[in-house]
Amino acid sequence: NAGVTQTPKFQVLKTGQSMTLQCAQDMNHEYMSWYRQDPGMGLRLIHYSVGAGITDQGEVPNGYNVSRSTTEDFPLRLLSAAPSQTSVYFCASAAGLSSYNEQFFGPGTRLTVL
């Protein structure tokens, strides 16, 4: 059981480039989410999904797109990277949709936009 996996671990982009951060989970979890972690700001929710085909915006969605075609995968797309998107990105998943449920986090992707 790999849990939540994220690729790549590190990425450097130039301003204006696009890329996709991959996230997968093998726990058959309904709920998946993306957070960004910036110094002094904790983790902030970017987008989330409550099941295949269903996504919604979190606190800081601008500049990011998501889709959920399968239960397992929840990729995060940066359409045109900006230096303000330099951050550490975490994917998380949770079983069921109860607000009490534990979220399981991936190892993170450290993104630098020059």
Which residues here bind other proteins, judged by CB under 8 A?
31, 33, 35, 40-45, 48, 50, 58-59, 90, 94, 97-108
For other proteins, the closer CB: 17 or 58: 58
DSSP 7-41: E-SEEEE-TT--EEEEEEESS--SEEEEEEEETTT
- CA dihedral in degrees (95, 76, 59, 61; nearest 10)? -150
The minimum distance between CB 14 and other proteins, in angstroms, equals 29
Q: C-beta of 15: minimal distance to other proteins in Å? A: 27
- Residue keyed to tokens 């960004």: 36
Q: Which is nearer to other proteins, 14 or 102 (CB)?
A: 102
